Amino acid sequence: MEKKFLAQKSNECRIDILQMVFNASSGHIGGAFSAIDIMTYLYFHKMNFSKENYLDNSRDRFILSKGHASAALYACLAHKNIFSRNELSSFRKIDSMLQGHPSRKTTPGVETSTGSLGQGLSFANGCAMALKMKKINAKVYCMVGDGEINEGQFWEACMTSSRYSLDNLRVILDYNHLQIDGFIEDIKNPSPSKMRFESFGFHVIEINGHDFDEIDRAFEEADGVQKKPVFIIAHTIKGKGVSFMENNVNFHGSPPKKEEYEKAMKELSDV
C-alpha cells in the first residue's frame, strides 16, 4: 500500500468534490469529505475494479448506500477513468449524467441507484448472495451513514447478512456523528455500536477512518473472516480536510459561499 499516493489521491478527490458542490450551488460536502479516505483506499488499492473490468461479473462492487455523498463516488469513478473528469463540472445540472444521487441508469460504474436511505445494504446482500450462488470470488463493499442507520430496513438487512453468512460482504459505517438534524447521539443514539453490530452476527472492526494504516489492517483482517459478514465502524470527521467545515453540521447539505470556497480551496491546495 502506497500511503503517499492514497493521501494525494484523496486530496485530489476532495478538491473535485469542493468544486462540484460549489459549481452546482448544491450538494452534501461534509459526508463526502468524511467518506473519501476509505473510498480512495477501496477504489485505488483494494478493489478489483477498473475501466477494463467494471462490467465484468468478476469485479468487486462498491455500493454507496448514503447516496447523498454522491460527489465522492463521482470523483473516484472519474479518477478511475470510468468517465471523463470533464463530466464533474456538470454535477447536479439538468440532464447531467451526474445527478445529486447516484443513478445506475445514467452513470457508468454506479452499481445501484441510491438516495432513499436504508436500502443500500439490502441490495448489497443480494449481490453478495448472487456471487456466492455463482461461485464468483468477488467482494461487495457497502458504505452506510450513521444517520442512515436510523432506518428500520437497515436493521432488517443486517439480520439477512448474518442469516446467510455473507463473508464476502463488507459493511462500512461512516461514523462522523452528525446528520442533518445534529449529533446522532442526540437523535437516535446507536451506542454501544460495536456490541450492537456483534449482536447482529457481524465480525466487527473499529478504526480511524482517516488513517490509511488502520484502514488497510481492517480490510486485511476482514479477508480472513469466514462464515460471518464483516462490519467496519470507521470513526470519521464530517467535513474532514477543511478546518472550518470539520464537525460543522452547517456543511451537511449546504454548499460553501464564494469566500468559503476560496478559503477551502487554499487549504486543500496547500496540503
Across 107-131, average pLDDT:
97
37 vs 35: CA distance, rounded Å: 6
Confidence of residue 147 (pLDDT cuts 50, 70, 90): very high
Q: Report pLDDT for 39.
A: 98
pTM of the predicted model, to two decimals? 0.97
Q: Report pLDDT for 1.
A: 76
Across 164-184, average pLDDT:
95
pLDDT digits (tens, 9 = 90+) for 40-64: 999 999 999 999 999 999 999 999 9
Q: Report pLDDT for 72.
A: 98
Q: Would the pLDDT of 271 be above 90?
A: no
Strand blocks (E) in the chain: 61-64, 140-145, 169-175, 178-179, 182-183, 203-208, 230-235
65 vs 60: CA distance, rounded Å: 16
- Structural domains in the chain, CATH included, are 3-269 (3.40.50.970)
* CA atoms lying within 13 Å on the CB side of residue 114: 27
Q: Report pLDDT for 111.
A: 98
92 vs 20: CA distance, rounded Å: 8
Contact status, residue 40 vs residue 9, Cβ threshold 8 Å: yes
DSSP string, 153-165: HHHHHHHHHHHTT
Across 107-116, average pLDDT:
96
